[in-house]
Amino acid sequence: MKTSIATVSISGDLKEKLQAIAKAGFDGVEIFENDFLAFDESPRQVGQMVRDHGLEITLFQPFRDFEGMPEPLRSRTFDRAERKFDLMQEMGTDLVLVCSNVSSAALGGIDRAAADFFELGERAAKRGLRVGYEALAWGRHIHDHRDAWEIVRRADHPNIGLILDSFHTLSRKIDVNSIRSIPKEKIFIIQLADAPLIDMDLLYWSRHFRNMPGEGDLPVLDFMNAVAATGYDGYLSLEIFNDQFRGGSPTAIAVDGRRSLLYLGDQVRRAKSGSLTLPSMPARAAVDGIAFVEFTVDEAETSVLSDRLGALGFRHVGRHKTKRVDVFRQGDINLVVNTDPDGFAGASYALHGQSAYAMGLWVDDAEAAIARAVALGAERFEQPLNPGEIEMPAVRGVGGGILYFLDRRSALARIWEIEFDPVNDDADLQPVGLTGIDHVAQTMKYEELLTWLLFYTAILDAHKTPMVDIIDPAGVVRSQVVENASGRLRITLNGAENRNTLAGHFIAETFGSGIQHLAFATDDIFATAAALSANGFATLTISPNYYDDLEARFGLDPAFTDRLKAHNILYDRDDHGEYFQLYSPTYGEGFFFEIVQRSGYRGYGAANAIFRIAALRRHLRPIGLPKL
Ligand code: MG
Ligand code: MG
């Protein structure tokens, strides 16, 4: 499988784009005409620059408004084509993309278009060039790949072929199975793009909202399976018009792009739908829970944190044999507190301050999980081991933090016994009934949301839920969840659009994205609330107005509402069950704990978010957020 990306997909000048594209591991690049025109070097120099990066120019694009023109426009379009052919030869590419005519002057007529393409094919053949025809979803007469294919078929010229673009086919809901009957040698290249489902004008949707395969909602895999069935084994090329990507980091977007193609290729390989030459990698890792979450803190802050964990019912159960690392446990939850000034934890502390910078996932096979992650371009994380330590496979995750993989088939299953000495210094501590981690919430800039959704869903056997808007009094935070069928993995990803929201403040003040809250599960929220209160743990105070509204909204028994209110418990319900939530105040720049009880409920209490955010904001330091 050969991968390519159009220069229009990422930000920067042509040089920056090529660097990022080459670094991400692409084999080829589509040169978008405007990127060339805005650049100061000659076509020959641009071609050389591409080849110096080890890349091939997969095509030059776009050539617009060609077929079906009346004279004298027709002659002029042919002259224009000859000029582009000159440029392509200097640049060193043999393929041009001609997109279907949108001009009001275009006459239409399949045979007229076919005749134009035959003539263009004759001219291209003289120079050893090829022409690929693409049906734009908003083309004036041709807006369906089946019609474009009919024109190519009737042109019947070896230098004229078809270009299929998943967006144009899928946005119009054209049956992808119509691709299966196209001969593979007539498909000159495949362009791929996904998009979120939004009901809007096709052109506007395409030019602003396309995203990488797997990041949107279109059935790109069905499209690709149909392509693979033809026997096509050429380039898969991303053509992504997205305002956010054009303003983002060229390197990050290029890495996402290549990851999206590799992941798509892997799905096609598993579907055994064709003859694409595809790299093999282990299957997506099945996650069986969060093994631990690790905090980095400095020595001075440890007693505050361990007191807080103690009040939450966590017992200090282990101390690392060689490092200043402690484990606190309750139920299945392991919280690791790392005060080691050396190593990555120390470096992370220096950069971000106190934070939950790492987490470990229980997977079926940690070696397979790391192999897949690395095959998909994740950055492997390794640090030197002390004698007696076991290597725990890991990659860099959100905000430069660490994502570890553990399994029960290797020594990793006994990590706590092998690397830690038992500690028994909180004999009189009272647990509060926390059983496990319900979800981990990671906060990031909105622009990073798609990156991490793709990262998690490509590596882990999990799916993403639809986007939900979380209303912060200072703006909107967009939230999407990565979760698996068993519910053993739930990561909420919150994308902040501005720094005045609680989420935006968190990333601005901690210098990066990361875990902003941990939600622990309990089977009995009222018992947990009572135990917390006995431990002297102050929960976040919720406005009494919330409870009046809640009672009316759900028709709750007033006595029940009073119990919720007495413990500052938030309540929600969906078709599947009930949800109870209570919160800690915020610590530092906005980190907090949540405790939830869910009985079948599938959401995360989005309707309650505005109330708890308002309450959390009141607890931030006075210098924190602007007054509203
Ligand atoms: Mg296209
Ligand atoms: Mg939550």
What is the per-residue pLDDT across 294-348, written as a single tens digit (0 to 9) for each?
999 988 888 889 999 999 999 999 999 999 999 999 999 999 999 988 888 888 8
**Which residues neighbour ligand 1 (ion) by CB within 5 Å?**
165, 191, 239
CA pseudo-torsion sign 21, 26, 28, 31? negative
Looking at residue 88, its pLDDT comes to: 97
Q: What angle do CA 126, 57, 122 make, to 5 degrees?
A: 15
Which pairing describes strands 490-496 and 434-445: parallel, antiparallel, or unpaired? parallel
**278 located within any domain:** no
* Distance separating alpha carbons of residues 66 and 591, to the nearest angstrom: 58
Q: Are residues 474 and 352 in the same domain?
A: no
Q: Are residues 252 and 333 in the same domain?
A: no
Q: Residue 90: is its pLDDT beyond 70?
A: yes
* Residue 239 annotated as binding site: yes
**352 located within any domain:** yes
Distance 398 CA to ligand 1 centre (A): 31
**624 located within any domain:** no
* Distance separating alpha carbons of residues 493 and 284, to the nearest angstrom: 20
225: enclosing H helix or E strand: helix 220-229
Domain carrying residue 176: 2-271
**Ligand lying closest to the C-alpha of residue 593:** 2
* Residue 35 annotated as binding site: no
Distance 194 CA to ligand 1 centre (A): 12
User: Which tokens go with 334?
Assistant: 């392991």
User: Which tokens go with 426?
Assistant: 């909180």
* Residue 165 annotated as binding site: yes
Q: Are residues 224 and 200 in the same domain?
A: yes
Contact 302, 339 (CB under 8 A): yes
Q: Residue 559: is its pLDDT beyond 90?
A: yes
Last residue of a domain, one of 422, 455, 475: 422
- For helices 502-509 and 609-619, the axis angle rounded to 10 degrees is 40
Distance 441 CA to ligand 2 centre (A): 6
**Ligand lying closest to the C-alpha of residue 518:** 2
Q: Are residues 10 and 129 in the same domain?
A: yes
* Distance separating alpha carbons of residues 581 and 608, to the nearest angstrom: 9
One-letter amino acid identity for 322? Answer: T
* Distance separating alpha carbons of residues 62 and 54, to the nearest angstrom: 23
| 148: helix, strand or coil | helix
Task: Give the total number of structural domains in the chain.
Answer: 3
Task: Tell me the per-residue pLDDT of 169-194, one tens digit each, with 9 for 90 and over.
Answer: 999 999 999 999 999 999 999 999 99
* Distance separating alpha carbons of residues 353 and 141, to the nearest angstrom: 60
* Distance separating alpha carbons of residues 450 and 210, to the nearest angstrom: 12
Distance 573 CA to ligand 2 centre (A): 15
Q: Are residues 7 and 155 in the same domain?
A: yes
Q: Which residues pair with 296 in a beta bridge?
A: 338, 355
Distance 230 CA to ligand 1 centre (A): 19
Q: Residue 619: is its pLDDT beyond 80?
A: no
Q: Are residues 249 and 304 in the same domain?
A: no
Mean pLDDT lowest among 195-199, 434-438, 473-477, 583-587: 473-477
What are the backbone angles phi and psi of residue 398, rounded to the nearest 5°? -50, 130
